[in-house]
Structure 1
């Protein structure tokens, strides 16, 4: 059926004026925010990596964020003889904003060797693919890196950043378009007497805008169990403990009239307070032990 007349909109369709919309953060502002986050992440990684390195915290350093495009970054990866590696695509937030993480295969095999009691030396001839033990080590690093980055970004709750996909070659992963601008970070891990290794990350600007579009957030608090007084280094801290045997009040006139040899009758309380730092922590009764005055605890707080 053909209408008798053309349909005409009752009013003009609304259009947003770009001049009235608030501008997003400039790329320089996003890079500055990433720099501050990388400083927090560097401190986070030092403690987190200790569990993989025998309990000793390594010295972790991060370079300044490097602006580049993905094609150049991928070329440098290949030129660096990193055909054996673990390239992981992470997703952040509900929109799965993209993050690229990389650790060289040689570094993974060195960590595996240490886990099984070795000295941390990779084989002279690297395999074409990581063995199962290497894949398991990469999974640990992925989970650690996602959790620490989420904490440094101030993300609420766990799972804010998740590993999505992993490949052994960067070309097989293809996380970004070749001409997409990215910002790259490299975290160098240094231990005395061992060859350094690194963890690399790359962020496109749309991911940084999702992170820092409203300003960078303070790091998320990490729940730690309360410190045990039996654990080091607290167990060896010396504290002054005092037992108040006598506590009497005298008028100023009586104190002014005190003389040598004078005897003051003092009542000894049945419950003697035991104090640390001015705080009463227990009560006890006065007695003797091996010809020495002693206090037997009857109640502890």
Structure 2
């Protein structure tokens, strides 16, 4: 019995092009699918930010607008942000992609004012250096944006066991270029974020994400696992609570003031004496604002002030 047989092909074997073989698995969504995913991502991020930023801004009912992004080079994005701003480099999503969020100083101070119950209106000109309280608030907002990006990237999905999505502020700097968020010639998506409350205050910031990283941050249909936990709702900011309570404030006491003419001032020489009239009550100042008055005395062989009176409006204003 002959068991060996010669087999001949009935027809030629199929020959697939490299686009279907080598690169087929890497092919992303079609343009119309990507546009739908981007729209869903922007809608979800805007909703999450409106919810999560509200406790930080005195419980305001917020509306967040996240329009279509501009596509610019990395160099053009850094020029748009400017040489000095409150910038934070974020790490987001399952793929731990980086993103850049930037606030101009005037906006950062206005948001700080609103977090303490003020009207949140911008004041010009902006300072050359950001107060520490505003820097802390920007870090809080940046962390909320990082978590919002991660949650929007996951959509309604849950993660596989062991997957750890990121949502954190890596580093903050007044110089966006120093953070090196993307190459100068990279294609970058620039999202202008507008945050508004019901009292007419509006604040703007910029979110910049390299185009190739944005592709990995878009929600993937059918993904399964668990969403990262939302941030615990926080109470409105208080100067007596962390982290603001630890900000050092330089105070000074004015013991006496004297008026001199310009001629007398120019004639002063070593050994001259100026009579000082010290009042019974001297002011304790924070900058140029008197926050209390008191009487001068001693405490354990050191000069001291006993506080006797506070302004009627208190320390809150």
The TM-score normalised by the length of structure 2 is: 0.56
Q: Given the alignment of the two structures, is residue 105 of structure 1 paired with residue 86 of structure 2, yes or no?
A: no
- CA–CA separation in structure 2 for the residues paired with 1:139 and 1:164: 10
CA contact (8 A) 1:33 1:216 kept: no
Q: What's 2:149 paired with?
A: 149
Q: CA deviation at 1:124?
A: 2.9
Q: What's 1:129 paired with?
A: 129
Matches within 5 A, 1:56-135: 56-78=60-82, 83-93=83-93, 96-135=96-135
Q: CA deviation at 1:161?
A: 2.1
Q: CA deviation at 1:44?
A: 0.9
Q: CA deviation at 1:92?
A: 2.9
- CA–CA separation in structure 2 for the residues paired with 1:31 and 1:129: 40
Closer, same or farther: CA 160–89 of 1 in aligned 2, 3 Å: same
Aligned pair count reads 205
The TM-score normalised by the length of structure 1 is: 0.58
3-state secondary structure, aligned to 1:184: strand
- CA–CA separation in structure 2 for the residues paired with 1:174 and 1:27: 31
- Per mean C-alpha deviation after superposition, the further-off stretch among 189-198 and 22-31 is 22-31
Q: What's 2:8 paired with?
A: none
Q: CA deviation at 1:170?
A: 1.9
Q: CA deviation at 1:125?
A: 3.1
Closer, same or farther: CA 108–57 of 1 in aligned 2, 3 Å: same
- Aligned counterpart in structure 2 of residue 202 of structure 1, from 197, 203, 208: 208
3-state secondary structure, aligned to 1:129: coil
- Per mean C-alpha deviation after superposition, the further-off stretch among 89-98 and 170-179 is 89-98
Q: What's 2:298 paired with?
A: none
Q: CA deviation at 1:176?
A: 0.8
- Aligned counterpart in structure 2 of residue 163 of structure 1, from 146, 152, 169: 169
- CA–CA separation in structure 1 for the residues paired with 2:111 and 2:125: 16
Q: CA deviation at 1:39?
A: 0.6
CA contact (8 A) 1:184 1:203 kept: yes
Q: CA deviation at 1:205?
A: 2.5
Q: What is the Cα-based RMSD across aligned positions, in Å?
A: 3.2
Q: What's 1:138 paired with?
A: 138
Instruction: Structure 2: give runs of 5+ residues left out of the alignment.
Output: 1-17, 233-317
Q: What's 2:5 paired with?
A: none
Instruction: Structure 1: give runs of 5+ residues left out of the alignment.
Output: 1-16, 226-301
Q: CA deviation at 1:38?
A: 0.9
- CA–CA separation in structure 2 for the residues paired with 1:216 and 1:107: 39
- Aligned counterpart in structure 2 of residue 52 of structure 1, from 33, 38, 56: 56
Q: CA deviation at 1:107?
A: 1.4
Q: What's 2:256 paired with?
A: none
3-state secondary structure, aligned to 1:137: helix
Q: CA deviation at 1:42?
A: 0.7
Q: CA deviation at 1:222?
A: 6.1
- Per mean C-alpha deviation after superposition, the further-off stretch among 27-36 and 132-141 is 27-36
CA contact (8 A) 1:86 1:104 kept: yes
Q: CA deviation at 1:223?
A: 7.1
- CA–CA separation in structure 2 for the residues paired with 1:153 and 1:197: 24
